[in-house]
Amino acid sequence: METRDADEYLALMRTVALPDCRSTPGNLGAYVLCRWGPSIVEFTVLTFWDCEEAVAGFTGDRPTRAKYYPFDPGFLLAMAPNAEHLDAYDE
């Protein structure tokens, strides 16, 4: 998104999207990652879940589908249809 819109979008993510995600049963954490450029800011949402069923509880019937909020189209330059899922290991 354009840099001039980033602060407003980040505020919405902090007050709407992150609380929604974190309140979903099975969510183990949620973060918004930002890469600030001179004219464009890239946002990535990173979430952790205890199982695929928990993801489906957040996204709906298809856990591979990306979840968007009504405010997203007014800010985002592109909206990927699917989320990327990875396994995380700490040991």
Cα–Cα dist 78/68, whole Å? 12
Question: What structural domains does the chain harbor?
Answer: 3-74 (3.30.70)
Q: Which pTM value belongs to this model?
A: 0.88
How far is C-alpha 84 from the geometric centre of its chain's CA atoms? Answer: 11
Instruction: Report the pLDDT value the prediction gives residue 63, as an integer from 0 to 100.
Output: 84
pLDDT 10s digits, 33-79: 999 999 999 999 999 999 999 999 999 878 889 999 999 999 999 99
